[in-house]
């Protein structure tokens, strides 16, 4: 930890102005004077006796039992040896940055100022690279096929779309101008978590606990645990017709495409008082125990593989707090936010919602089966009532008809159409 950090980038200085042309006469006089002075110094050197030779210093005895030192700035090099080039690149960015951290996990730094634009990294990690890892691909599939249709996501989506319901279509890239921060701020509505602690990630990565020591992959080294996000991509808006009559107070929104991306805060802050364990590191690599081999004493003690006097054989436990202490000592270490590129994913069948006034309606497409709770089921029933344009007496009749039958949205809609005529879903 005593090793000095790399120097901050220095802005280029403007070129110095050209000096005026020399005075030839003055140069000739200065040349004569300089020659005489040099001749005097040479004569003095000839007349000066040689100084006595200093005694030879005794040879330094090598301590063959000494343990070579280790500095956390050696970790990026060790990561490359462990085939984690993306993780190494991100950690070097952190070491090279000026001091920047958020006391509360937001994007406001220690001085109460929003993160500067250069504290957003948008080119180091790509979504294609992330999805090469099986656990990330599984999470992405869950996000696209299930999470975006959850009651919480539908509520967020509906409230988000109300201001745009007067449009015929919404393509969010035209609004955010390919700015990932604006896309996330304005249109993100669902997310899925990937990974947990470092040990959790290793256990998930290996799908087994048959070994005591394992090594994380580059995804864990780069992002640890992170979120995959879904944001609105494209929406079609249309009028709502019930029994051939246009409902002037209601518009139908159909989400036909989303943007998928990763956003992750690269930080060594801890969410709790306990410092997060990041593995045992040396300049030669890392070892991480899975849960069966982990204990409180283990994550505080060095581990030696081979002779401790050989560089790289002693692995030291590293925690978030080590990076925090380094940052405070050297006034360096810049937390930053990682965004991948965002990928457009078509949604089929589209998610269909009713938007009324300033309030979002309910999801009416892709809602087969009974919702998991009474609140969600009531929302689907209200959506059926709105879709068929039922008055309160008809709604009561329908409710009595379907009560306690465990019907999903489309089943309730079909029953209502049988009772009161065709509606438009």
pLDDT (tens digit per residue) in 296-336: 667 788 989 899 889 999 999 999 999 999 999 999 999 99
DSSP symbol at 236 = E
DSSP H helices in 151-270? 151-161, 173-176, 180-187, 198-206, 218-223
Summarize the confidence of residues 278-297 as an average pLDDT. Answer: 76
Q: Are 202 and 133 in contact (CB under 8 A)?
A: no
- Between CA 309 and CA 68 the distance in angstroms is 6
DSSP H helices in 52-124? 75-81, 85-96
Candidates 176, 354, 142, 167; CA nearest to 254 is 354
Q: Are 201 and 225 in contact (CB under 8 A)?
A: yes
- Between CA 70 and CA 285 the distance in angstroms is 12
Judge whether residue 74 has pLDDT over 60.
Answer: yes
pTM, 2 dp: 0.71
Residue 424's pLDDT is: 42
Candidates 171, 163, 154, 192; CA nearest to 351 is 154
Q: What is the mean pLDDT of the chain?
A: 82
Burial code of 88-103, b = ≥16 C-beta within 10 A, e = fewer? bbbbbbbbebeebbbe
Judge whether residue 40 has pLDDT over 80.
Answer: no
């Amino acid at each position: 930890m005593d090793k000095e950090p790399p120097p901050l980038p220095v802005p280029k200085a403007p070129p110095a102005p050209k000096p005026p042309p020399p005075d030839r006469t003055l140069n000739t006089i200065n040349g004569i004077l300089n020659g005489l002075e040099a001749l005097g110094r040479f004569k003095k050197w000839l007349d000066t006796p040689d100084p006595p030779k200093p005694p030879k210093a005794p040879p330094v005895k090598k301590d063959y039992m000494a343990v070579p030192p280790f500095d956390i700035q050696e970790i990026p090099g060790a990561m490359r040896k462990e085939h984690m080039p993306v993780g190494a690149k991100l950690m070097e960015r952190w070491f090279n940055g000026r001091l920047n951290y958020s006391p509360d996990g937001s994007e406001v730094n220690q001085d109460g100022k929003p993160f500067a634009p250069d504290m957003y990294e948008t080119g180091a990690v790509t979504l294609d690279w992330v999805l090469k890892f099986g656990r990330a691909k599984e999470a992405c599939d869950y996000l696209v096929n299930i999470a975006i249709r959850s009651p919480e996501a539908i509520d967020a989506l509906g409230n988000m779309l109300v201001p745009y319901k007067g449009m015929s279509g919404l393509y969010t890239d035209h609004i955010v101008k390919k700015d990932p921060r604006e896309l996330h701020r304005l249109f993100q509505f669902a997310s899925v978590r990937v990974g947990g602690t470092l040990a959790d990630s290793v256990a998930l990565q290996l799908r087994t606990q048959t070994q005591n020591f394992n090594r994380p992959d580059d995804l864990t080294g780069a992002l640890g645990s992170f979120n995959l996000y879904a944001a609105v991509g494209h929406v079609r808006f249309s009028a709502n017709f019930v029994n051939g009559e246009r409902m002037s107070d209601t518009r139908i929104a159909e989400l036909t495409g989303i943007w998928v991306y990763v956003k992750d805060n690269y930080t060594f802050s801890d969410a709790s008082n306990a410092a997060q364990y990041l593995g045992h590191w040396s300049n030669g690599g890392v070892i991480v125990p899975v849960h069966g081999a982990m204990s409180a004493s283990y994550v505080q003690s060095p581990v030696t593989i081979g002779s401790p006097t050989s560089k790289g054989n002693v692995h030291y436990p590293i925690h978030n707090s080590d990076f925090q202490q380094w940052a405070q000592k050297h006034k360096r270490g810049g937390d930053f936010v990682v965004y991948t590129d965002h990928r457009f994913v078509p949604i089929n069948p589209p998610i269909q919602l009713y938007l009324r006034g300033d309030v979002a309606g309910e999801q009416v497409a892709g809602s087969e089966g009974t919702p998991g709770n009474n609140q969600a089921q009531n929302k689907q029933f209200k959506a059926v009532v709105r879709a068929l344009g039922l008055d309160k007496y008809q709604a009561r009749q329908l409710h009595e008809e379907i009560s306690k039958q465990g019907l999903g949205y489309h089943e309730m809609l079909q029953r209502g159409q049988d009772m009161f005529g065709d509606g438009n879903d």
